[in-house]
C-alpha cells in the first residue's frame, strides 16, 4: 500500500517513509522482488504518480534513495550533480594515458579525460552501428594514416553510415587532435557512427552521423618472442561483415578469451571451406617451400589489414635480395599452415609476431625464423624513416 496525502494543487506530499508493495515492482530487477518494504530516506514535496505495480519518484539533487527489506541487504543510490559526476569520472580515468579526444557532437577537442564521453543514445553505443580504425603515432608521425582512413571510409559505406564531413576535413581533424595531444609515441583511434538519436533499432531518428577520435599513450616496444596460437572454435563473422572493421567485436573478444583460457596468445579462425582466415585482430602469414615463399590468406573474406598489405610491399625487398623467391596471397589449408617453415601474426598492435606453435604442432624448429625477423626489421625501419606516402608529419 502507498501512503500519500494530496492537496488542492494536485501535488503529493509523501507523509510516510515506508512504502509497501504487495507485488513485484515493475521496472526493477527481478532479484529485488523480495523487497516488500522500501525505506525512503527523504521527504519530498513534488509531483509523483502511482500505478498498479509501482510509482515514479521525482528527481532530486544531492539526495540519496536508501532501500532496505526484510532480508539482510541494504544499499544506497546517490543522486549526483554534474560536478560530482565529473569528479568521479576523473577517479575512473586515473592512470590512463588518454591525452586528447575529438567529438563532432560537441564540435571540438578536449584534453580532460573526464570529458571524453559519448552520448548513451549514440547508435554505436547501444546497437553497435559504427566502424573504427587506428593509426600508430611513431616519432611524431602518423603511420599509414591515409591507408587507414581509406579503409574506415569503405567500412562506413558498407555499414551504411554517411560521412559527417568530407575525407579531407576528417583527415585534418585527426591530425589536429594528435597535435593538441602532444603525443609522439602512441595511437590514434577513431570512429564513425550513425550518431545519437534514440534507442530504436533503426538509425532513422539519428539526425547526424558522428566522428570521434582519441589519442592515447602507448609504449613503442618490440617483443620478438614467439607465441603459441590455437584454432578458434568461435564462429567466424560472415564474409559480408568480415571485411568491415565495425565495433561489433564480440566474436573477436570471445575468440581471444578462449585462447587465453587455453594459455595461448591468440585464436586462429578457419573459414567454412576449411581455409585459414585470420586472428581476432591480426592477419596471419606463412613461409613455405623450403623457407623461400611468403604466403597470406586471401583478403576476400577477412579484414584487409593495412600492416599485412604493407608487409607484402616490403617483402619485395627480400625477393630482390634472394631471401624469398615470391610473395603470394592464396588459399591456405590448416594442414599446410602447421607444416610451414615459419608462421607469423601481422597487425598494427603486434607488427610481426612469430608463431612457434599452433595447437599441438610446433612450427618448424619452434623459434623465430629469418623471414619474420627480416620483415619486422623492414617494418620498423619503414615506421621510422619510410616515405611520405606512409608517414604523415604532425605539426605540434
Catalytic site positions: 245
| Distance between CA atoms of residues 90 and 114, nearest Å | 5
Length of the chain: 396
Question: How far, in Å, CA of 279 to CA of 265, rounded?
Answer: 10
The Cα–Cα gap between 5 and 220 comes to: 66
Reported as type and span, the H/E element at residue 393 is: strand 391-393
Contact 353, 332 (CB under 8 A): no
Query: Is 377 in a helix, a strand, or coil?
Result: helix
Q: What's the CA gap between 187 and 177, in Å, rounded?
A: 11
Report the C-alpha gap between 354 and 285 in whole angstroms: 10
Residues 329-339, buried b or exposed e (16+ Cβ, 10 A)? beebebeebbe
Q: At what angle do helices 145-158 and 167-181 cross, to 10 degrees?
A: 130
Cα 332 to chain centroid, rounded = 29
Report CA torsion sign: 44, 49, 53, 54.
Answer: negative
Task: Tell me the three state secondary structure of residue 253.
Answer: helix
Task: Please provide the DSSP assignment of 14-58 as one string.
Answer: E--SEEE-SSPPTTS-GGGTT--EEE--S--EE--EE-SS-EEPP
The DSSP bridge pattern shows strands 227-231 and 266-268 to be parallel
Amino acid at each position: 500500500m502507498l501512503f500519500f496525502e494530496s492537496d488542492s494543487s494536485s501535488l503529493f506530499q509523501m507523509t510516510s517513509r515506508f512504502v509497501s508493495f504487495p507485488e513485484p515492482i515493475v521496472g526493477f530487477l527481478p532479484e529485488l522482488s523480495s523487497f516488500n518494504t522500501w525505506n525512503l530516506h527523504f521527504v519530498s514535496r513534488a509531483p509523483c504518480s502511482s500505478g498498479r505495480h509501482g510509482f515514479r519518484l521525482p528527481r532530486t539533487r544531492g539526495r540519496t534513495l536508501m532501500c532496505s527489506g526484510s532480508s539482510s541487504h541494504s544499499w544506497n543510490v546517490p543522486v549526483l550533480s554534474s560536478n560530482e559526476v565529473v569528479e568521479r569520472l576523473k577517479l575512473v580515468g586515473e592512470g590512463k594515458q588518454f591525452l586528447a579526444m575529438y567529438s563532432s557532437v560537441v564540435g571540438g577537442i578536449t584534453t580532460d579525460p573526464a570529458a571524453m564521453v559519448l552520448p548513451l543514445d549514440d547508435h554505436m553505443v547501444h546497437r553497435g552501428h559504427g566502424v573504427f580504425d587506428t593509426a600508430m603515432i611513431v616519432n611524431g608521425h602518423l603511420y599509414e594514416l591515409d591507408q587507414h582512413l581509406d579503409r574506415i571510409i569503405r567500412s562506413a559505406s558498407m555499414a551504411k553510415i554517411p560521412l559527417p564531413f568530407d575525407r579531407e576535413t576528417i583527415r585534418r581533424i585527426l591530425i589536429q587532435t594528435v597535435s593538441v595531444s602532444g603525443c609522439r609515441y602512441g595511437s590514434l583511434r577513431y570512429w564513425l557512427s550513425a550518431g545519437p538519436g534514440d534507442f530504436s533499432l533503426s538509425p532513422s531518428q539519428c539526425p547526424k552521423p558522428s566522428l570521434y577520435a582519441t589519442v592515447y599513450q602507448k609504449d613503442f616496444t618490440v617483443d620478438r618472442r614467439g607465441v603459441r596460437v590455437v584454432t578458434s572454435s568461435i564462429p567466424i563473422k560472415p564474409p559480408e561483415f568480415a571485411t568491415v572493421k565495425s565495433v561489433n567485436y564480440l566474436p573477436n573478444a570471445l575468440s581471444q578469451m578462449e585462447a587465453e583460457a587455453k594459455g595461448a596468445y591468440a585464436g586462429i579462425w578457419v573459414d567454412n571451406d576449411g581455409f585459414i582466415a585470420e586472428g581476432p585482430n591480426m592477419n596471419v602469414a606463412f613461409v613455405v617451400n623450403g623457407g623461400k615463399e611468403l604466403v597470406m590468406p586471401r583478403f576476400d573474406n577477412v579484414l584487409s589489414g593495412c600492416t599485412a598489405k604493407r608487409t607484402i610491399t616490403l617483402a619485395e625487398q627480400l625477393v630482390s635480395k634472394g631471401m624469398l623467391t615470391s610473395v603470394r596471397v592464396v588459399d591456405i589449408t590448416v594442414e599446410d599452415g602447421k607444416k610451414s617453415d615459419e608462421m607469423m601474426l601481422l597487425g598494427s598492435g603486434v607488427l610481426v609476431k612469430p608463431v612457434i606453435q599452433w595447437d599441438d604442432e610446433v612450427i618448424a624448429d619452434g623459434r623465430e625464423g629469418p623471414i619474420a625477423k627480416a620483415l619486422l626489421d623492414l617494418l620498423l625501419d619503414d615506421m621510422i624513416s619510410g616515405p611520405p606516402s606512409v608517414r604523415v608529419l604532425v605539426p605540434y
